[in-house]
Structure 1
Amino acid sequence: MSVVQLDTIRRVLVIKWSALGDLVIASALMEDIARALPHAEIHLNTQPGCTGLFAHDPRFAEVWAIDVRGRAHRWANSLAWLKKVRTGHYDLVIDLQRSDHSRFLLTLLFLAGGAPRIRIGNRGGFPYTHQPAVRDPRAHAFLMMQSVLQAIGIPTPTAHPVLYPAPERRVVVASLREQHGLVDEGYVVLLPGAAAAHPLKRWGTARFAGLARLLHAQGVRKIVIIGGPDEVDECAEIAATGDYMVNLNGQLQLLDIAPLCAGASAIIGNDTGSAHFASAAGRPLLVLCGPTDPRRVKPIGNTAVAVQAQLPCRNCYAKVCANPDTHACMKAITPEWVAAQYPALAAGMLKPGQDWPGGLRSF
């Protein structure tokens, strides 16, 4: 395997389509790429619904999207994708996907004689020219993507997502904080949602409401709720807990989450895409995991910790609970337990690898 001379690379294509959480995680690797190749022109290929996340990102000369996975026009779009990459005359392609779809397209490009001369990817093997050390699909996406960059000598020191909201949105967030009296270290952010198709990932409105009451009784002045379109009712129900609640559901864009969380004493939420955006703030973050494996789904960053009940059925990834004690994995994490850990969380003393009576463990 030849050594890559990074200073000879002039044009780079980064491929990262999804999922949303993985895309946010990948933004840390994008920072490493930009720092290692300051002389290169870097392009990002993502999916049509994700281009807006990078609309103000100074790391990329171009962000482009062609839907090669949807059923409509799949072959025509795939041909358009191949033509786009071929005419891009890239020296290096960095494929951060965890599936074989992008590898298949790059194989076609190689067989047609138009592939970039240096090709690296998560999956390894043909047609990539360099092989990452970590190729286990069960590994955390971050470790896999770091290994890809390390395979060609790109250092990977960035430990948290790096995102670039539009400047005008920072003004909006600052105005919301002033309007609701959200002073630094004076509020906690709750993320009660998760994808509607995965209801078992949700801790539940009653538990979040109970936690809000306990945190306020412990001296937290304001409790902020952030949710998406699928979580309107849940957010409204939790917000009814007391006048110290601030319901920002529907008032924020995804890239607003990190600036809003930047002043929080702590962030507590489910395994949800919002938690990955929140991790970019670098504030103490506790993720409550039930049916999903925290070793694979936990947001990155030195301040992010996940907790999970150590039950025989953990990491089932089911959409319907098969345990006779329905939702036992989330029931085991009580509002009282989370509230008791809040001082350690806010102080940065809640760490991975801790075990608690009752079968709870942090990751």
Structure 2
Amino acid sequence: MSQRSMPYDLPNDPSIRRILIIKWSALGDIAMATCVMEDVARAFPNAQIDLNTLPPWDKLFTGDPRFSNISKINIRAKQGKWAAIWAWMQQVRQQRYDLIVDLQSNDRSRFMLMFLQLTGNATRFLIGNHPSRPYNISGPDMPGDPNPVQRMRAAIKAAGIPVNTARPVLHIPAHNQQHAHELQKKYGLTAGRYAIFYPGCQAAGYLKRWGEDKYAELARQLLISEVDQVVLIGGKDEIEDCRRITELVGAGVVNLCGETEVLDIVPLARDAKYQVGNDTGTAHLAASSSQPMVVVCGPTDPYRVKPQGDNVIAIQADMPCLNCYCKQDCTHHSCMKAVQPEHVIEALHFKDGPVMIIPIPKAQQGLSDS
């Protein structure tokens, strides 16, 4: 029987007592991976589970009861990177893990784990998303470019680990819950009576932004009859976007850009009536709530980037150039211009699938617009 077809039932192996989960980056990918982390934690309730990630994402797991130890490695540092990698290898070797679950599974993590294997690391089971060394358990080949969580789930399922967690699971420290409550009280935010917008994204991927004018018009329409307030959340890269939306709409908009820590977002999202955002890590984090969310996609594939959860709908205009993954060279931005506020409102009530594709007549596609 081949390595990949061999049946495994690791949760019923009493010798697995120490487990390491590796997931380095980025915010959205880590948020999605918490679904799989939760499945592993449930499958091994008596094991010591450690997590290895990159700074600053280790802060997402402060006080998380699923993990005994949280370590970070800065493999992107310009100086000291190789020293950090060596220290990581020494640490992993000393812990003598029975199982390593590599949710990163990129060339670097594969190389590091393979080096450990070649230099005497005693880890018996290595789970990864890639069907080759150093992993001895991996999922089946998956056609196309599926959502990363599909690959992660396929890998742990091959180890006999049940896959049951539908959306991200994050444990929110008390101080973040308290800060969210204070913001709600300060701005008069009533549970179930406000919407949250995540209108930005990383500056380098600005073509994934739907645009201030579209968010402003959506806010106006929702404020008429659906909600009492619209809350804007973002970081330093979104300050100007949020300021502009606030200026365009005026009364009813609460601009919290720059006022929230990352984990404040989750309790705020849990009390929102609706959520709307771009393809951004913040939306993946907020998807841990069960409240309806629409993610507007343009240059990125909605089937691949949609946050986890049946409460989330990704929408995209049906354009000839969709899923181009263009970052800087697009002059017309037609895929985002074609999505209208009424499309988003329709999607907020859409129940028939994870992705809603909007048909756009050819005459309205505007591919020649600048």
> Into which bin does the TM-score normalised by the smaller protein fall?
over 0.9
**Is the CA contact 1:341–1:350 (under 8 Å) kept in the aligned structure 2?**
no
**Is the CA contact 2:317–2:357 (under 8 Å) kept in the aligned structure 1?**
no
1:264 has 2:263 as partner: no
* Residues in 2 aligned to 1:136 and 1:93: alpha-carbon distance in whole angstroms: 25
* Residues in 2 aligned to 1:74 and 1:220: alpha-carbon distance in whole angstroms: 49
CA 1:95 to 1:341, structure 2 compared with 1: closer, same or farther past 3 Å? closer
* Residues in 1 aligned to 2:324 and 2:97: alpha-carbon distance in whole angstroms: 41
1:39 has 2:46 as partner: yes
Q: 5+ unaligned residues in a row in structure 1: which ranges? A: none
- Matched letter for residue 172 of structure 1: H
Matches within 5 A, 1:102-251: 102-135=109-142, 138-240=145-247, 241-251=249-259
Q: Which residue of 1 aligns with 2:353?
A: 351
Q: Which residue of 2 aligns with 1:64?
A: 71
* Cα distance per residue 1:149-190 (max 9 Å; x no partner): 101100010010000121121111112112222212211111
Moved over 6 A (4+): none
* Residues in 2 aligned to 1:78 and 1:135: alpha-carbon distance in whole angstroms: 31
Range with bigger deviation, 171-180 or 333-342: 333-342
Range with bigger deviation, 83-92 or 311-320: 311-320
1:313 has 2:321 as partner: yes
- Matched letter for residue 152 of structure 1: A
* Cα distance per residue 1:275-299 (max 9 Å; x no partner): 0111011110100001111111110
**Is the CA contact 1:190–1:225 (under 8 Å) kept in the aligned structure 2?**
yes
CA 1:321 to 1:124, structure 2 compared with 1: closer, same or farther past 3 Å? same
3-state SS in 1 of match to 2:20: strand
* CA RMSD of superposed structures (Å): 1.8
Q: Which residue of 2 aligns with 1:92?
A: 99
* Residues in 1 aligned to 2:15 and 2:316: alpha-carbon distance in whole angstroms: 46
Q: Which residue of 2 aligns with 1:336?
A: 342
CA 1:135 to 1:187, structure 2 compared with 1: closer, same or farther past 3 Å? same
* Residues in 2 aligned to 1:282 and 1:134: alpha-carbon distance in whole angstroms: 31
* Cα distance per residue 1:269-323 (max 9 Å; x no partner): 1001110111011110100001111111110001011001121111111122446
CA 1:74 to 1:303, structure 2 compared with 1: closer, same or farther past 3 Å? same
* Residues in 2 aligned to 1:216 and 1:296: alpha-carbon distance in whole angstroms: 31
**Is the CA contact 2:9–2:161 (under 8 Å) kept in the aligned structure 1?**
no
CA 1:61 to 1:217, structure 2 compared with 1: closer, same or farther past 3 Å? same
* Residues in 1 aligned to 2:358 and 2:101: alpha-carbon distance in whole angstroms: 41
Count of residue pairs the alignment pairs up: 354
1:3 has 2:11 as partner: no
